Amino acid sequence: MDKAADIPLIGKASVRSVHPKKFAMWLFIISVVMIFASLTSAYVVKKSEGDWLIFDFPNLFNVTSVVIVISSITMQMAYFFAKKNNLIGIRVNLAITGLLAIAFVIGQILSWEELVAQDVYWVGNAAGSFIYIFTGLHGLHLIGGLIFLAIVLVNAFKYKVHSKSMVQIEMCTTYWHFLGGLWLYLYLFLILNN
């Protein structure tokens, strides 16, 4: 009796794997989560030491929060259109998402002007430093997402984004939702811990 014949073979269809680029993206997302988790922990510890500057958060934080939620919706719509091979829908929604991302970054920069008007600076008090670190780091990650979004948009115009080629837009959509969720987390964390 051949023992090898008793071992069930696993066919290619039953093997589950993750695309290497998606795996790398998830590792990156996890590392970003760890960075912001450590920063929010440091915020809580530093605040408990006292000498904490109290100030009003910029009103633009409310606006940019709405903008990033809308951009997440338009990104999801682009993904749905890609699944349906609607090239116009993909392109339009990716372009709108990009414009909203630019509006978000501009809004964050203008919110820094509101902070300066309240005498909240990068240096001087840890409360101000943390606000600039949180918004600046998130902004840098969003600019990276915007570059990725531009690449996907260019590929959509080259007919490389459709139902048979979804990896790029799936990754971009996942990362975009992550950025939106991260901002909402930071926004709520700051409001609840001010």
Domains of the chain (ranges; CATH) run: 59-194 (1.20.120.80)
pLDDT at 14 exceeding the cut of 80: no
3 state DSSP class of 19: coil
- pTM over 0.85? The answer is yes
Element (H, E) at 52: none
Residue 143 structure tokens: 């600019």
Residue 173 has phi, psi (to 5 degrees) of -65, -45
> Per the structure block, which two tokens stand in for 21?
């680029």
Distance spanning both ends of the chain, measured CA to CA:
73
Tens digits of residue pLDDT in 147-187: 999 999 999 999 999 999 999 999 999 999 999 999 999 99
Residue with tokens 């939702």: 177
Say what angle helices 126-157 and 167-192 make with each other, to 10 degrees.
160
Q: Is the pLDDT of residue 35 over 60?
A: yes
Would the pLDDT of 86 be above 80? yes
Rounded Cα–Cα distance for residues 116 and 17 (Å): 49
CA distances from 116 to 52, 112, 130 (A): 17, 6, 14
Least confident among 51-55, 128-132, 160-164: 51-55
Q: For tokens 């531009």, name the residue.
A: 150
Residue range 27-36: average pLDDT? 97
Quick one: DSSP state of residue 193?
T
